[in-house]
Chains A and B, each alone.
Chain A
Amino acid sequence: FPGLADVSISEDIPVEGEITVPVGSRSPDEDFSTLDEPVRETIMRDLKAVGKKFVHVMYPKKSSALLRDWDLWGPLVLCVSLALMLQGGSADSKDDGGPQFAEVFVIIWFGAVVITLNSKLLGGTISFFQSLCVLGYCVLPLTVAMLVCRLVLLAGAGTVSFIIRLIVVVAMFGWSTLASTAFLADSQPPNRKALVVYPIFLFYFVISWMILTFTPQ
């Protein structure tokens, strides 16, 4: 290049720039690159998402937060705490006691999977994990009922405590079923809604039965 030999760039003009290909807007990249943020922030974000879903379950409105950003942390926490609270009954040394930890776990997860498969086979448009997420989160009222039952049983195990427990469990069972139906019913074909709702009813009924029949040692 004969003409370029004379071109010179003076030393005091800084030559700088970026040799990167622009990838659209930068904010989605910054959101997903969570590598640099402190661990506490990562955990708090997930905890807040789980907490927000708990609130949505307790006050079921037509919001799609449960469906859109599903996660299985909440159901896992609820399932484990419910199974732990169901221990310590007359199950320790007896043959005919209450459910073991593994039995509660299996019933909740296997039951949720079967109900999800059932709704998908009947032609539902919800995805597998979204449905698992909703069913798992809607166990929250029943976990609250279990907590209340254990507290009531600390006070005594007579007829009055049984009636209180019965009322609490029935109310929470109704709440769970209505909450999960509110979230799941829209994704079903209209002439099969009852076919999808009935297994959910049976599922929460079995869990309520386990809670109600819990008798301390």
Chain B
Amino acid sequence: IACLITHLLAEFDDAANLLAASPDATTISIDEPAEIPKNQRDRRQEPGREEDDELLGTDDSDKTELLAGQKKSAPFWTFEYYQTFFDVDTYQVLDRIKGSVFPVPGKNFVRLYIRSNPDLYGPFWICATLVFTIAVSGNLSNFFIHLGKPTYHYVPEFRKVSIAATTIYAYAWLVPLALWGFLMWRNSKVMNIVSYSFLEIVCVYGYSLFVYIPTAILWIIPQKVVRWVLMMFSLCLSGSVLVMTFWPAVRDDNRRIALATVGTVVLLHALLSVGCLAYFFDAPELDFPAPFVPVHNGTTGVTKSH
């Protein structure tokens, strides 16, 4: 088995070397034709005609779907297939992150930034960073809150890392799966103009979580009001990215179903942030009672008041 694995890995090396030359060619051919319609779309959106946006979105998606078909032609059991999901440069990733933090009203994140080149680099590493940021910030915040207490003994709380990882990765991958399934099912009933592939939905969710990273760092500040204001702010930013992405996909459907879908998306997003704030960050106590209450058992008194 070891021989087989080393042989396969040697093949991957060769394939990677061969493929290193080609991605540039494909990315250029995709980006340049899509640039021109985007500029036209910007000019035409000034009078506020959303139908043009949809129509141009259709053209764009037709063309880019054709090109996507050409790009992802490797069979799924080869290494090159998965390399097509990492076909992004540094500036593209930074652009996508910027687009998720500063959402422009009316511009669709998927059409604008992803443009049929969804990557898995962003979602995976943003989730990983968020997991460790939340765990580390929660630990630091608890440390500072409980610093003065005589019964407090610092613990690194490493269990919370695995809980954070499970939660965030489950959210970033299972919710898009459910949403994609739901949209596919609605698509079979109502002919929607805009439809997203599973990877594009994963991409949007992954990049929309980026704004929680600075929010989690700022949550170290032990003021309840500050934390809730930060949470509202980040929820608005990332929620608006999601809403502006998914509203065009359900708009043509039954009004109630469209509103319910978008509402569920926002609700789940809010649940994630509220849950993280409540679980990983202890409530700041402005005035804690004097420690005349005797510590009953010998365990270290890390107070967890929610």
Contact = CB atoms under 8 A, between A and B. Distances in A.
Contacts of A189: 20
A87 interface: no
B55 interface: no
B73 to A, nearest CB: 17
A77 interface: no
A150 B83 CA distance: 43
Given A192-B90, A195-B88, A118 B155 contact: no
Nearest to B132: A206
A121 interface: yes
Interface in B203-224: none
B85 A215 contact: no
Contacts of A75: none
A118 B121 contact: yes
B90 A213 contact: no
Nearest to A126: B13
A142 B91 CA distance: 31
Contacts of A100: 158
Contacts of A94: 155, 299-300
Interface residues of B, number: 38
Given A90-B153, A213-B139, A121 B85 contact: yes
A121 B20 contact: no
B90 A215 contact: no
Contact of A123 (B20, B153, B302): B20
A124 B90 contact: no
29 contacts: A90-B153, A94-B155, A94-B300, A96-B155, A96-B158, A96-B159, A96-B160, A97-B155, A98-B155, A99-B156, A103-B158, A103-B162, A118-B86, A121-B83, A121-B86, A123-B16, A123-B86, A124-B16, A125-B20, A127-B9, A128-B12, A191-B91, A193-B90, A195-B89, A199-B128, A202-B129, A202-B132, A206-B132, A215-B156
Given A94-B299, A121-B85, A127-B9, 8 more contacts: A95-B159, A120-B12, A121-B82, A123-B23, A128-B12, A194-B90, A202-B129, A215-B156
